[in-house]
Structure 1
Amino acid sequence: MTLLDPRVRRLPVPARRHRPRAVVLGWAVAAVVVAAHVVAWNATEVSFGALVDGWRGMAEFLAEAIPPDLAWDVLGPSLEGALVTLWIGLLGTTLSVPLSLAGALLAARGTAPAWAYQPARWLLSFLRAVPDVVFALVFVTAVGLGPFPGVLAIVCHNVGVMGKLWAEALEDADPGPPQALRSAGAGRIQVAAHALLPTVTPQFVGLLLYRFDVNVRSSLVLGLVGAGGIGFLINQSIQLFQFDEMLTHILVVLVLIVAVDQLSALVRRLLGSAA
């Protein structure tokens, strides 16, 4: 008897059920999203017509900025400012590592005492919610202008961000080794040191390199509020209407960012090959 035998009984295909609630919910979500975009469009005063009408101003700006001023009295301070920006991002990242690790251990469910879990997460949320520019303004008023308040601002904000990321990495780690150590009578510190941290170290390093990349860019912005670095030179050039010098500083920033990206990629490849 073949499959085409008329004696074979064909079962009816059940009708597809329509779920009106899901359809209504989908349309409701779509309507909310569209309404939110309409409100955002009006609130931000988006106007492509104004952008087209302002082409003359943009053309005059570019005409004054091009070509960049590559004289050594401009390029030399620009390179020095770029190095200062790099050092701000580097120190802000590395100095935040101990505090970020402590915050991550206190904000992860598997390693935090019950009394410290929520306060640690609230503290990390606060440090993450306050922009680094605000921290820079506070520290500029406290210690004066220069790179040091930029380093402090990066440290404070980076502890909140990196502590949160590292805490999530600890919570997502393989629960097998920690449970084995706990069953053997190990304490929280022993479990973290011998089971959790060795497992998540590659993730920690990857997140640290990512934050270093972000912090170098952030230190550029911090220079605009007096925290030193090449951002301060860019702000000074704009205030003095020296747009050709500004373009020189921006090109130096571009070279710096590309170099940092390449360095981070190289470190990741070396860590991957070593693993």
Structure 2
Amino acid sequence: MNQNTLPKAPAIISLPTLLTLLGVLALTIASFVSLAIDWRNLFSVESLASTWKFFQEFAPMNTASPLLQKVLYASLETLAMSALGTGIAAIGGIIMALPASGRFGKPAMYVSRLLLNIGRAIPELVWASIMLIAAGLGPFAGTIALAAHTTGVLGRLFAEALENASPLPESTLRTNGAGAVAAFLFATLPQRLPQMLSYTLYRWENNIRAAAILGVVGAGGLGQMLKYHLSLFQMQTAATVIVAMLLLVAMVDGLSFAIRRWLVS
């Protein structure tokens, strides 16, 4: 066999991949240099002793019955904020994803993508601060803040999912006389619905954590309880709230994971 006809060995790594890795490495090194992290002070004996003393103040947890009732109510409030905010965002995301996927022309696509970029670029805490001015203290502001940010995230993910759907089933229905809406609902949407539901559930997991944090700025739920008791240095009561947060996040994570496994099975 002629040597010229032998297959060439595949390259171990391509040039674009190598340049990307070198760029990431350079950024990582520059980050460590610019931050000037004092590792020696972080892991010094004095620092570790102070940290251990701080954690000791959280034990034992406050398990008084009136407090547990308040924690349960705040947990339900946090759960409701995350679920309702995610539900509103899922509806808003699919509405914004239609023009963002290019179904209504280039101008509509650019405008909708710009709005989605703004929605997800602004953190939940900033949205919550804006909503607190408009709606006042309470879980309503936190719910709208979660919905605003998550709409930007889900809208972009939904748009990419719709862009990657096969156009053949929808075009076949259109050729046979089906309308645009009917063709989309019965051909394109069923292809991507499991993936879109999986995205929504994953964002719900994240919104549980975000909802707990939003309470710090006065948006209700467990976060507001945590801020209140920490500000009064009631560490044992704060420990109860933190444990409730962990249990709530673990419960929603497990439920969401099970549902996503069921969707893809």
TM-score (ref. length: structure 1) = 0.84
Go from structure 1 to structure 2 and tell me whether the alpha carbon gap of 1:105 and 1:73 turns closer, same or farther (over 3 Å shift): same
Is residue 35 of structure 1 aligned with residue 19 of structure 2?
no
Aligned runs of 1:203-218 on 2, under 5 Å? 203-218=195-210
The equivalent of 1:139 in structure 2 is 131
Aligned runs of 1:56-75 on 2, under 5 Å? 56-75=49-68
Deviation at 1:13, TM superposition (A): 8.6
- Percent of paired sites with the same residue: 33
Deviation at 1:15, TM superposition (A): 11
Is residue 49 of structure 1 aligned with residue 40 of structure 2?
yes
The equivalent of 1:7 in structure 2 is none
Of stretches 68-77 and 157-166 in structure 1, the one that deviates more from structure 2 is: 68-77
Of stretches 215-224 and 258-267 in structure 1, the one that deviates more from structure 2 is: 258-267
Go from structure 1 to structure 2 and tell me whether the alpha carbon gap of 1:194 and 1:52 turns closer, same or farther (over 3 Å shift): same
Report if aligned partners of 2:174, 2:183 keep a CA contact under 8 Å in 1: yes
Is residue 245 of structure 1 aligned with residue 242 of structure 2?
no
Which ranges in structure 2 are unaligned for 5 or more consecutive residues? none
Go from structure 1 to structure 2 and tell me whether the alpha carbon gap of 1:93 and 1:25 turns closer, same or farther (over 3 Å shift): closer
Q: 1:199 aligns with which of 181, 191, 205?
A: 191
Report if aligned partners of 1:107, 1:120 keep a CA contact under 8 Å in 2: yes
Go from structure 1 to structure 2 and tell me whether the alpha carbon gap of 1:14 and 1:255 turns closer, same or farther (over 3 Å shift): same
Deviation at 1:221, TM superposition (A): 1.0
Is residue 108 of structure 1 aligned with residue 92 of structure 2?
no
Q: Residues 145-169 of structure 1: CA distance to partner in whole angstroms, max 9, x if unpaired?
A: 1101001101111110111111111
- Root-mean-square deviation (CA, aligned residues, Å) is 2.7
Aligned runs of 1:63-212 on 2, under 5 Å? 63-109=56-102, 111-184=103-176, 186-212=178-204
Q: Residues 105-138 of structure 1: CA distance to partner in whole angstroms, max 9, x if unpaired?
A: 11113x3333311111111111011111100000
Structure 1's consecutive aligned runs of 4 or more residues displaced over 4 angstroms after TM superposition are: 10-17, 22-31, 269-273
Deviation at 1:80, TM superposition (A): 1.3
The equivalent of 1:5 in structure 2 is none
Go from structure 1 to structure 2 and tell me whether the alpha carbon gap of 1:194 and 1:114 turns closer, same or farther (over 3 Å shift): farther
Partner Cα separation in structure 1 for residue 27 and residue 75 of structure 2: 40
Of stretches 239-248 and 221-230 in structure 1, the one that deviates more from structure 2 is: 239-248
Of stretches 89-98 and 26-35 in structure 1, the one that deviates more from structure 2 is: 26-35
Of stretches 176-185 and 152-161 in structure 1, the one that deviates more from structure 2 is: 176-185
Partner Cα separation in structure 2 for residue 265 and residue 25 of structure 1: 35
Report if aligned partners of 1:84, 1:147 keep a CA contact under 8 Å in 2: yes
Partner Cα separation in structure 1 for residue 17 and residue 197 of structure 2: 41
Partner Cα separation in structure 2 for residue 201 and residue 233 of structure 1: 37
Deviation at 1:32, TM superposition (A): 3.8
Report if aligned partners of 2:86, 2:207 keep a CA contact under 8 Å in 1: yes
SS of aligned partner of 1:215: helix
SS of aligned partner of 2:246: helix
Deviation at 1:74, TM superposition (A): 2.5
Q: 2:255 aligns with which of 260, 263, 272?
A: 263
Partner Cα separation in structure 2 for residue 136 and residue 234 of structure 1: 17
Partner Cα separation in structure 1 for residue 231 and residue 20 of structure 2: 46
SS of aligned partner of 1:96: helix
Report if aligned partners of 1:61, 1:243 keep a CA contact under 8 Å in 2: no
Deviation at 1:186, TM superposition (A): 4.5
Q: Residues 52-77 of structure 1: CA distance to partner in whole angstroms, max 9, x if unpaired?
A: 12112101111111221112233221
